[in-house]
Amino acid sequence: MELNHTHDVCRRSWLEQANTPDCDFPLQNLPLCVFRRRGSAEVWRGGVAIGDQIVDLAALHQHACLQDLAAEAVAAAATTTLNALLDMGPNAWRALRHGLFALLQAGSTQERLVRETLVPQVDAEYTIAVHIGDYTDFYTSLDHAVNCCRQFGLEVSPNFDWLPIGYHGRVSSIGVSGQQIYRPMGQSRPDPAGAPVYGKCARLDYELEIGAVIGVGNARGTAIPLAQAQQHIFGLCLLNDWSARDIQTWEMQPLGPFLAKNFATTLSPWIVTLEALLPYRTSWTRAPERPQPLDYLRAAANGSHGAFDIQLEVSIQSASQAAQGRRPRPLTRTSFRHQYWTLGQMIAHHSMGGCNLRNGDLIGSGTVSGPTAAEAGALIELTRSGIQPVDIGDGEQRGFLEDGDTVIFRGWCDSAGYARIGFGTNFATVVPPLTA
């Protein structure tokens, strides 16, 4: 897990669009997806982003452009999910990345053959890139926890300092960017002194998160040491953990989230590999006045490079803005480096009791919020539970989401001396419930 030639900002692709300064998918990124041409009956297969194009890995496999382990890896990635590739482990992931880098680099002798495999991203539709067996969502931003608790006169739970808090989510309702989100029905208790009522969620919210895809699991009964935890991550994506706040408030005592969370989770289509993100790992520290983690959640490697400096942005586009072709204004800009617990600590804690993680399992980071008001990762924070609506542009305000709203997440890493590494977008549109 060291920097190498694939991180060299001076390397360029023969595909000129990949060399523009604001491109999410330069030669140094090469994220993976599963796609097909939009509106077709083609078989889903793996792809890799370069510039505004997708390298069709099934077509690349047919051309036999790669050799040895890289050839085996492209064959595994050319199928309907990436799980077979994940199961091959880090050496195969690296061989595929380095092989693709050589094929796409300016001066490649195989440019003509590789050009034949390209599919424009505008012509593609996507599905979830891996078969997800299990999904665990965490709650690991101290700023988010403090912002939410203060509204209700509460203190952050004492265990927040000592362990990454999480719950098991619902896999069946996970979808990919572009999906429709049906406003959920459920119980809420608007009058604290009255009986609960059944009806449409009135306080629908998003949660800005990072999703981590497990590449290599662990045997049941064993634990993943913190120092090795990052080696078990294949890559990261953008995750929207939709939340029905009024339903959540009523139902979550004493066992935590249930119907308020299980109706939808949206993932971006691209998985950015951990190798591509190596230049953007950063140190993790905790304020000295806060309790320090127990020994199994402490490691030198976690302190030196356990966090990731991923820039994150949220905007809401209303139905009227979309109809008029108006771009939404950003509401939030924050960084993933602010999380109170790292992804490695989440994985180490998840497995320390002997729970076996498997390839394709999804880890949600929990809402990503920063220390300032403009860095809040959910409307419940930005609007103080709807009391102070925010301006989404063109004179429109939101306390919580309305039908027709499209929530848009963007993510990228950018630093002098390294190439911009983008995550693309994660967007989905709220629509009325199918039944009421």
> Is the same domain home to 164 and 93?
no
Q: What is the mean pLDDT of residues 351-364?
A: 98
Average pLDDT over residues 333-346: 98
Q: pLDDT confidence of 433, banded at 50, 70, 90?
A: very high
Is 139 known to sit in a ligand binding site?
yes
Taking 90 as the threshold, does the pLDDT of residue 233 lie above it? yes
Over 80: is that where the pLDDT of 111 sits? Answer: yes
| Domain end (from 65, 94, 127) | 127
- Average the pLDDT over 257-278 and give the result: 97
Last-in-domain residue among 103, 127, 151: 127
Q: What is the pLDDT of residue 47?
A: 98
What band does 435 get if pLDDT is binned at 50, 70 and 90? confident
Question: Is 228 in the same domain as 318?
Answer: yes
Residues 207 and 117 in one domain: no
Using one digit for the tens of pLDDT, what is the confidence trace for 75-98? 999 999 999 999 999 999 999 999
pLDDT band at 15 (very low <50, low <70, confident <90, very high): very high
Residue 63: what pLDDT? 96
Residue 436 inside a domain? The answer is no
Count CA atoms within 13 Å of residue 93 on its CB side. Answer: 26
pLDDT at 1: 78
* 10 assigned to some structural domain: yes
Question: Residue 20, annotated ligand binder?
Answer: no
156 pLDDT tier (thresholds 50, 70, 90): very high
| pLDDT for 112 | 97
Look over the chain and give the mean of its residue pLDDT values, rounded to a whole number: 97
Are 168 and 215 in the same domain? yes
The CATH number of residue 41's host domain is 2.30.30.230
Binding site annotation covers 135? no
Q: Look at residue 436 and tell me whether its pLDDT is greater than 80.
A: no
Tens-digit pLDDT profile for residues 206-221: 999 999 999 999 999 9
How confident is the model over 170-201, as pLDDT tens digits?
Answer: 999 999 999 999 999 999 999 999 999 999 99
User: Is 90 exceeded by the pLDDT of residue 31?
Assistant: yes
Q: The domain spanning residue 223 has which CATH number?
A: 3.90.850.10
Query: Is 21's pLDDT higher than 90?
Result: yes
Examine the residue annotation and report whether 144 is marked as an active-site residue of this protein: yes
Q: Is 367 annotated as a binding residue?
A: yes
What is the per-residue pLDDT for 152? 85
Do 340 and 317 lie in one domain? The reply is: yes
Shared domain check, 90 and 204: no
The answer to whether residues 100 and 227 belong to one domain is no
Answering whether pTM is above 0.75, one says yes
Q: Which domain holds residue 275?
A: 135-431
Tell me: do 54 and 180 sit in the same domain.
Answer: no
Query: What is the rounded average pLDDT of the residues 294-308?
Result: 98
Q: Which of 7, 61, 98, 144 is catalytic?
A: 144
Mean pLDDT of 150-163: 94
Whether residues 150 and 102 fall in one domain = no
Nearest to 295 by CA among 223, 215, 232: 223
